[in-house]
Amino acid sequence: MLEEFFPRISTKPVVNQAGFSIAGHTKDESRWGRDDATVSKSKQLGIQHMACSPFGQYTDVDVLNDPTVASIAAAHGKTSAQVALRWIVQQDIVVVTRSNSLEHDEEDMDIFNWTLTADEMQRLSAIPSNSTESAFVV
């Protein structure tokens, strides 16, 4: 969509916001712009990709209870939510979250003083997507 959209505009967008998550970033997600190729194209065009629904709300995968995510979280002394958010920001993608809990907000911010290894990033990226056809929920 970006390739079709870009030639028709006079003001370049600064941000492209779309769902993006562990288990929700494969080519199967391209219809909604929440795939690796869209992130790559956004970067190529100088547009910041912004990930909403970072816990895979639009997939059939329960990212917060996935065993791979949980094991990596345990290795770092972090929560699965923190691993899911760190996986996104470590790819230079801005992430949007929401909560009604100060504890969750503080936890979400505690993702910048540690990193995932290259192997962990690959293992998380390999979690299969079982996307739903419905629009994502933020």
Q: Structural domain boundaries of the chain?
A: 15-125
Of 93, 118, 98, the closest CA to residue 108 belongs to 98
pLDDT range class, residue 136, cuts 50, 70, 90: very low
Average pLDDT, the chain: 86
What are the pLDDT digits (tens) for 26-49?
A: 666 566 677 888 889 889 989 999
Q: What pLDDT is recorded for position 135?
A: 40
What are the pLDDT digits (tens) for 66-89?
A: 999 999 999 999 999 999 999 999
Structure tokens at 3: 């390739």
Query: CA distances (Å), 66 to each of 34, 35, 70, 94, 127, in order?
Result: 20, 20, 6, 23, 9
CA end-to-end span of the chain: 21
Of 6, 85, 76, the closest CA to residue 51 belongs to 85
The architecture that CATH gives domain 15-125 is Alpha-Beta Barrel (3.20)
Q: What pLDDT is recorded for position 27?
A: 65
Q: Quick check: 137 pLDDT over 60?
A: no
